[in-house]
Amino acid sequence: MKKILTAVLTLSCATAIFAGGIDNKSNLSTGYLRNPSRATETKRPEAVLYNIGGTSFMEDGLAFTIGNQFIFKEYTNELNNTEYKDNKTVLFFPDVEAVYKKDRWAVFGGFGVFAGGGSLDYKNGTAATFLALYGATSLPTIAKNHSLEAYSATMGEILGFSYNVTENISLAAAGRFLHASSNMKLTAPGIASVNGRDSIEYEASGCGFGGIFGVNAKDFIPGLTLSIQYQTITKLKIEFDTVKGKMASAFGVTEGNKYKNDLPAVLTLGAGYSLFDCLDLSLSCNYYFNKQATMQNPLGGSDLKYNDSWEIGLGCDWQINNQIGVSAGAMYTKQGAKSDVNSAFSPVLDSIVTGCGIEYRFAKQVMATAAYMHCFYNSKDYEYFNNTIELGKNIDMVSVGITVKPF
């Protein structure tokens, strides 16, 4: 039965919808779906999420953005020609950013989903839980007739300020508070004799705090923007608030137990160039220091060793006229997963994403935006208990948002 619990509880840190790092999210706003190269953003409130140094180069006054993403996903894992699938749609994935700029100063705040962010619903279980159940019971009927539901989200708030030390250089600092929550339910009729019920269930939560520091240089060469941003590691200890099923307590997983699931530090570099005051070209690079973070298996606390990961993106934003702007871009992500350190529940795979979108200004104070992104993933084999599981993933995202500048 230990194999069952090992497979199931690993879900606690393995339900990211779209991640640049192992768990760090990249798709934090509608702007990212329009154009994933956002590291030199200096015109829109979404700079709070991607380039805090750019906030003090925005227009004076107050501006805020509210957005939501709709995520259409399909996760697959295949074992011995049997495919296990999750395709539950995520309908609520919000973000909020606000900036108040005055002369050389800017203060800003934001809210977003920085890790996890979705639900999984494997109606026929997964390859990993099938192997765990079959290995523990040797009963194919039980192993084949089980289901798995899980949810994980790490949301957070950002609060900070930026200052233009010269006409061309700004410095910025912010704090970010994260609060993680997750739950899981594995139902397998037939395990009640050893578990006391037909399901293993848990709810878990934790919180942590980290810092963000940024520098933005603009117009040393007319039209050129350079940025650098460092996001510190955020240490997260996740505590099991409730645990149901005798098997959990039998292996030391009880209410009050904790394990670590840190979000790694991230270094972001950006370069942008404006042509004709209407076309902005950009290059963005992110490096995730996964090796510095402690990510643990909830059962026993053993460390999950990932390599560092990185991504690079190119994009453009074209302001066609005073009312309409369009954007497009692409990003490649190289993940730090290994053949024996991955997840059959939420696969960690290398990817290329392409996005496009439109902005429409109804009035000087109100602008709406809509975007679409498709994610192309490379399938990967995952070695699990001496079995090879083929992991696959397909995600389409649609997002809408509105930006208001009351003064």
Q: Token digits for 31?
A: 């702007």
Q: Is residue 54 part of a domain?
A: yes
CB 216 within 8 A of CB 170: yes
Q: What is the pLDDT of residues 149-165, one digit of tens each?
A: 989 899 999 999 999 99
Q: What is the pLDDT of residues 36-61, one digit of tens each?
A: 999 999 999 999 999 999 999 999 99
Rg (C-alpha) for the chain, rounded Å, is 22
Q: Token digits for 211?
A: 């810092």
Rounded to 5°, the CA angle 144-149-155 comes to 155
The CATH number assigned to the domain holding 211 equals 2.40.160.60
Q: Is residue 407 part of a domain?
A: no
Q: Is residue 198 part of a domain?
A: yes
Exposure string (b/e) for 336-373, b if CB count within 10 Å is 16 or more? bbeeebbbbbbbbbbbebbbbbebebeeeeebebbbeb
- Hey, what's the torsion of the CAs at 56, 57, 61, 62, to 10 degrees? -70
Q: Is residue 364 part of a domain?
A: yes
- For the chain, give the percent of residues with pLDDT over 70: 92
pTM of the predicted structure, to 2 decimals: 0.92
CB neighbours of 286 closer than 8 A, spacing ≥ 6? 20, 21, 26, 39, 266, 267, 268, 310, 311, 312
Residue 203: domain span: 2-402
Q: Is residue 73 part of a domain?
A: yes
Q: What is the pLDDT of residues 130-144, one digit of tens each?
A: 887 777 666 677 778
Q: Is residue 394 part of a domain?
A: yes
What is the mean predicted confidence (pLDDT) over 393-406?
Answer: 96
Q: What is the pLDDT of residues 315-344, one digit of tens each?
A: 999 999 999 999 999 999 998 877 777 777
d(CA 179, CA 156): 6
Q: Is residue 148 part of a domain?
A: yes
Q: Is residue 112 part of a domain?
A: yes
Q: How many domains does the chain have?
A: 1
* Burial class of residue 256, CB neighbours in 10 A (0-12, 13-18, 19+): exposed
Q: Token digits for 205?
A: 């939560």
Number of neighbouring beta carbons within 10 Å of residue 380: 19
